[in-house]
Amino acid sequence: MFKEFREFAMRGNVLDMAVGIIIGIAFGAIVNSLVNDIIMPPIGLAFGRIDFSNLFINLSGGSYATLAAAKEAGAVTINYGVFVNAIINFLIIAFVLFLIVQSMNKLSRKEEAPAEPTTKECNFCFSQIPIKASRCPHCTSQLNTQ
């Protein structure tokens, strides 16, 4: 059983998938930092110094200055600011994945070879005729078959 598991785990597909998941997690951390530390502060400043990660609705009835204080007190909250950050994270990741897939599709497209000709021109009447024809159907001339 251990031998079968080792063969399964050492397959190329499983290793490629594991590498992809690890890179994806690392990329997600980078995007989280990009959104939380670079994109949201200027947007919050533009909206009057709002910290989106601290936007919440308290359902417990108390008053808390920050989301961390509400969580520490055990208050039930709807964290719509965190949700906005998650939406922006998703949009950035989806856009980057779109660009990656689009570039991979461009790389994987093969140059199509021109199709073999199926017709030729009659030397006498200049009509298009099948390439294998030995006599022109239009002018009935005998064609050179080479």
pLDDT for 116 equals 85
Is residue 130 classed as helix, strand or coil in its secondary structure?
A: strand
Give Cβ neighbours of residue 56 (< 8 Å, ≥ 6 apart).
Answer: 67, 70, 77, 78, 79, 80, 81, 82
Q: Is 70 exposed, middle or buried (0-12, 13-18, 19+ CB in 10 A)?
A: buried
Residue-wise pLDDT for 16-60, tens only, equals 888 889 988 998 899 888 888 888 889 888 888 888 888 999 998
Is residue 13 classed as helix, strand or coil in its secondary structure?
A: helix
Q: What is the pTM of this model?
A: 0.57
Residue-wise pLDDT for 69-98, tens only, equals 999 999 999 999 999 888 988 898 889 889
Is residue 139 classed as helix, strand or coil in its secondary structure?
A: coil
- Give yes or no for residue 146 having a pLDDT over 60: no
Which regions of the chain carry the CATH code 1.10.1200.120? 2-108
pLDDT for 134 equals 84
- Distances in Å between the alpha carbon of 84 and those of 3, 10, 31, 48, 71? 47, 40, 14, 17, 18
pLDDT for 145 equals 60
Which of 1.10.1200.120, 1.10.10.60, 3.30.750.24, 3.40.50.450 would CATH assign to domain 2-108? 1.10.1200.120
Distance CA 10, CA 143 (A): 64
Q: Is 112 exposed, middle or buried (0-12, 13-18, 19+ CB in 10 A)?
A: exposed
Distance CA 17, CA 9 (A): 11
Distance CA 67, CA 24 (A): 28
